[in-house]
Amino acid sequence: MTEILLASSTVDITPPPGHPMGGYLARGEAPAVGTLDPLQATVFWLSTDDDPGVLWLSLDALAVDTALARTLSQAVGRATGIPSDRVLVCASHTHAAPLGWTGSLHPAMPGERDPTLIESLTAAVAESAAGLSDQRVPVDLSWCVANVKGLGSNRNRQDGLHDTTAGVVTARPRDMESPARTAALLVDYACHPTVLGPRSQVWSADWPGSARRSLAAALAAVDDPRTNESVPPVVAFLQGAAGDSSPRFVRRSRDYAEVARLGALLGGAVLQAIQMDAVTVPPARPEIHKTVVRIPTRERPMLETSRQLLAEATEKLAGTEESPQERLRRTRLEGAFALRSLGSAELPEQLDLPLTVVTLGDIAWVHLPVELFASFGLRIKDASPFPVTRVIGYTDGYAGYVSDAGGYQEGCYEALMSLLDEGAGDMLVRESVALLEEARQGAATNATTTS
């Protein structure tokens, strides 16, 4: 019988104030003046005695480019003794994190990599991962899907497509003295962490951080009373296909009280699902499958087209800056500026995007280095041969937005900002499903061979 081992950890990676923040064109390179709540890096590692398994490293960061992902995966590999290609580096996409971890992610977004910040981040992550190999414990896993209401929606159309589900893996130690204790959670949900707006100049994990804290506190409080233990579990968060999902139409304010409220909505939905809907995950060795997808970049826009879009977007500005409709108008203007910058940018003809599928029995996670629109994420899930499939973005690199046809027709911000060809979404769906099918076939072959 396969025995699943877990090791997990969390470490504070908050930089000191004074460094430029990433996330909003409207903020420019304004520096952070303080910390609202800590930025964290979380390790969730599943393995077996005879296989290193898969390790998720999730960061409260705007993004991870390929260089940063490589640096961190190698550091974690050295610290744990597992191959670096078994490490997935994922960003929560908070817009209140350092710009210096990645530097510029788009020709319209200035910024420089900060070697000091990267060195400090890498050291903290490596220290947190050190010794985890000896701390692995046997666990029982359960799975559930939570329905989350009121946290996010389609950010371009209030009635637009949006995936309201959150996937949840719960790991409990195989310990007869404390059978109720939760050791760690792996939670995914798709929604931009953009409660705090461009005027905010404090580090923050935004609502994912609030959700993690609420879950950790609640689960620690219900530990087995026979042991008198109240050890908070590690809660790792993965950002889903959130390219066109955000709290824009549901947030009530842009302050920390709203960060806490929305985070609690996710936490509450997850807790209810764990209690009511969780099913046991039969022991199965975690598997990882990788490929590289070559996607053409977009054609250079005509100067006249960019000028016309700028003029139209500028003319439509009106009203309260933070209202949803005004945010749509302002982001469209930002997108028009970004499109103009692409006219003089020297993009390569194509980008190589890493694509990874992780499987755990009948559960699969597809990891992509993009901000994928919800329609594409749902298409991947519908076409997957696995009974349960979750689609995760912002992993092992960053190639920007992948808009669907509707976004291009509307000329939304995400479509104007995109670095990739309009057919990128269809290509990523096709390649994701092909890798899922390969993984499913491999699992079936292994099961037949084992039996």
Strand 34-35 to 202-203 pairing: parallel
pLDDT at 123 over 60: yes
395 DSSP β-pair partners: 90
| Confidence (pLDDT) at 178 | 53
Helix orientation angle between 256-277 and 206-221, rounded to the nearest 10 degrees: 50
The confidence band for 181, taking pLDDT boundaries of 50, 70 and 90, is confident
Question: Could you give the percent of the chain with pLDDT greater than 70?
Answer: 92
Cα–Cα distance, 432 to 428 (Å, whole number) = 6
Segment 232-275, tens digit of pLDDT: 899 999 999 999 999 999 999 999 999 999 999 999 999 999 99
Segment 387-417, tens digit of pLDDT: 999 999 999 999 999 999 999 999 899 999 9
Cα–Cα distance, 26 to 191 (Å, whole number) = 20
Q: Please give the model's pTM, rounded to 2 decimal places.
A: 0.94
Mean pLDDT of 275-279: 96
| Confidence (pLDDT) at 303 | 58
Cα–Cα distance, 359 to 118 (Å, whole number) = 31
The confidence band for 314, taking pLDDT boundaries of 50, 70 and 90, is confident
The confidence band for 177, taking pLDDT boundaries of 50, 70 and 90, is low
- What burial letters (b/e) apply to 315-324, b meaning 16+ CB within 10 Å? eeeeeeeeeb
| Confidence (pLDDT) at 320 | 63
Q: Are 10 and 40 in contact (CB under 8 A)?
A: yes
Segment 4-45, tens digit of pLDDT: 999 999 999 999 999 999 999 889 889 999 999 999 999 999
The confidence band for 179, taking pLDDT boundaries of 50, 70 and 90, is low
| Confidence (pLDDT) at 340 | 82
| Confidence (pLDDT) at 201 | 97
**What is the rounded average pLDDT for all residues in the chain?**
92
Question: Could you give the percent of the chain with pLDDT greater than 90?
Answer: 79
Segment 329-374, tens digit of pLDDT: 888 888 888 888 888 888 999 999 999 999 999 999 999 999 999 9
Least confident of 229-238, 301-310, 441-450: 441-450
| Confidence (pLDDT) at 448 | 47
Q: Which residue has the higher pLDDT, 118 or 317?
A: 118
Q: What is the DSSP string of 70-84?
A: HHHHHHHHHHHTS-G
* Residue 122 CA from chain centroid, whole number: 19
Mean pLDDT of 140-151: 97
| Confidence (pLDDT) at 450 | 43
User: Helix (H, G, I), strand (E, B), or coil: what is residue 5?
Assistant: strand
**Residue recorded with tokens 């479509």:** 415
The confidence band for 449, taking pLDDT boundaries of 50, 70 and 90, is very low
Q: Which of 177, 188, 227, 178 has its CA nearest to residue 211?
A: 188
